[in-house]
Structure formats: C-alpha cells, structure tokens
Amino acid sequence: MKKLFALLLASAMIMCGFSNQSTLAADAPKAELEGKYQFIIGSSSNAGSTDCNVFEKFAEDITNETDGKMNVQFYGASALGSDKEMITAMSEGTITMVTATSAQFSGLVPEIAILDIPNAVKNMSDVAALFSDEEFMETCQGWFEKAGLRLVAWDTTLSKVMASTKEIQSVADFAGYDMRTLNNKYQIAYWAGLGTNTIQIDASELYLSLQQGLIDGLEMSVNGIRTRNLYEVANYIVDTLDYTQFKLLVMNLDAYNAMTDADKEWFDNRMKELSAEYCAESAKDMEADWKFMEESGCVCLRGNDQLFDEMRAVAEEKVWPMIREDIGDEVVDFFFDSIKRVTGQ
C-alpha cells in the first residue's frame, strides 16, 4: 500500500501542481504554532465540487495563517486513489486526512454505520443538532479513536437524492427498477427491499450507464449530480431524504497526537470554524444546484412525505435489524435516543 501511495502521490503532484500561495491580507493575524507539520488531505470529489472548493481554500488558508508551520496540501478528484485506498493509507499514516462520506469509514469504524441508517430523520436540522451535541460527539470520537483515527470536521447539510430516468412517486414505482448502489450491504438490502435490482458500478461509469440504459437511477448529493453532469442523462431529480449525506474529514490519530497541546487547541478551534464554513458553503451550493437542475429542464421532485413514509417502513423491516445485529442494540439505541434528546421529540 505504501508503494502504491508513493506512486499516486508523485502522479498527483504532477497533475495537480498544487501551490500554497498566500491570499491573506498583509495585516491578517497569524497563528503562533509551536511545532511544524506537513499534512496531506485526499478526496475523491471532482474539481468544481463543494468539497474541492472548500478544502482547496482551507489548505491554502491554513498554510498561510501559520506562515507555513502547518503546511497543508489537498488532492481531489481521486488523485491519491479511491476512497478505500486513501482511507487505508490514512490508517497506515501515509495520508494525514481524508474527506469522504461516513459510509466509507464504516469498515474501520463499524459504529459509524448509525449515520447510514436509512430514513432515520426527516429533517436535516435534526442532523445538525446531533453534531452540536457534546455527548453525541464525545461518543463518536471514542469510536474513531479506537480505530486510530480522529473526526475533525464535517458537513451535516445534505441528503442523498436520486438522479433517475423514470418518475418516482411511490415505492410501487421501484418494481423492476435497475438501481446503482454502493458496495455496502445495508444499501443493497435496502434497495432490494424496495423492489429494485441492485447494481454496483464505479462512479466514473455512471454517466454512460444512465445514458445507455444500464441503470435507471442512482443516489448521491445534488452537487455530485451536477458536477458529474448526470442531469444531462437523467430526467428526474428525486429528493427522498432516505440517506443523509454525511461528509466527514477524518485524521490519522498519531498525526493529531504528534501536535503539542497548544497546537491541538488551535487546530481544534480552527476545525470548528472549518465545519461551519463547510456547512454554509454546502447549503448555498445545494440550493444553487437545485435551481440549476430546474433551469436545465429536469423535473425536480421534493418533499414527498408519503414516499418517505413508505420507504421508511421498508427500512425498518429490512435494514434497521441488520445494523442492530452488526453493531449492537446499545449503539443504535444511543443514536435514536440522541435524536430524541436534541430534538425534544
């Protein structure tokens, strides 16, 4: 894996030509760090996506804010490999941080599968409240640290939406539907339970697969659908709110612990700022993307409560018991109890 990463990194440096040029005003305050650090962030998100825009700016800003004492380089568009390859490299300490959906980290942090419980929440503000809750976050952090990782920043504004060649108004419309899913047993069980034929296809092949009729639909963020131009070959954009689209920035724990206590404190505070910036930018881009889809001629279907309730019934029967069996009732109950606590419901 380390040899593979070395080749990928060399290639990425050539392709990306990344440069940390200062964009701060001359009188902007600088952080007085005690140590010197070299951090690498990897992502599979495409150029022009919210993720790439946010983390390219963050890498540049944090390097400049610290006068290069914390030198951060960001590589998007899978320049350092697939999500799986990058997360493995991060676990080994070759990459410092990876930003990806929560599902990608569940192999190392099985408890984080709670964030992929389908139809668990109906309002994204409930999700944001969870990540502002100290008890919930301390517990999550403990799960990551057991795996030698640290959760440092996040985006809690998005849900997955469907890019579809067919109109979806009820679960009955999924009969015989060819659905691309991630290679994740919970998602496969969920979509199979809804009546679809589940197919696993690499993200690079999605456009042609929709265009050629190999699949009828797929799920990802609305920003991903736009930046991958999938709206060109999918007539319908359907907001089912079945899966929240948690985006996490996760760090190698040894790299985090190598910082001095004072530098950790500065870093933690800066990560809180990053999370706020990430969520704000993501929410702004999401609404712009929906508008773009509508203006491009797509039929945008949002706010179908009946469809949500029908899909939730399937999720409760087919998927929730699987997750309980795999990670335990205690973890799942903690998740739902936390939702009730933060929402007051």
Residues 318-326: what's their mean pLDDT? 95
Percent of the chain with pLDDT over 90: 77
Question: What integer pLDDT is reported at residue 1 of this predicted model?
Answer: 54
pLDDT in tens, 162-178: 999 999 999 999 999 99
> What CA–CA distance (Å, rounded) separates 253 from 145?
7
The CATH code of the domain that includes 306 is 3.40.190.170
Mean pLDDT of the chain: 90
pLDDT in tens, 328-342: 999 999 999 999 999
Determine the angle formed by the axes of helices 261-295 and 50-65, rounding to 10 degrees.
150
Do 278 and 316 reside in the same domain of the chain? Answer: no
Burial zone of 178 (CB within 10 Å; 0-12 exposed, 13-18 middle, 19+ buried): middle
The number of folded domains in the chain is 2
Question: What integer pLDDT is reported at residue 46 of this predicted model?
Answer: 86
> What CA–CA distance (Å, rounded) separates 154 from 131?
9
pLDDT in tens, 107-143: 999 999 999 899 999 888 888 899 999 999 999 999 9
Do 60 and 126 reside in the same domain of the chain? Answer: yes
pLDDT confidence tier of residue 10, bands split at 50, 70 and 90: very low
| Residue 40 pLDDT greater than 50, yes or no | yes
> What separation in angstroms does the CA of 298 have from each of 160, 186, 305?
17, 29, 21
Q: How many CA atoms lie within 13 A of 273 on its CB side?
A: 9
Do 186 and 326 reside in the same domain of the chain? Answer: yes
The reply to whether 75 falls in a domain is yes
Do 48 and 99 reside in the same domain of the chain? Answer: yes
Partners of residue 217 on adjacent β-strands: 164, 179
Domain region containing 239: 161-243+289-343
Question: What integer pLDDT is reported at residue 22 of this predicted model?
Answer: 37
Structure tokens at 345: 């419901």
DSSP H or E stretch at residue 150:
strand 149-155
Do 209 and 263 reside in the same domain of the chain? Answer: no
Do 195 and 337 reside in the same domain of the chain? Answer: yes
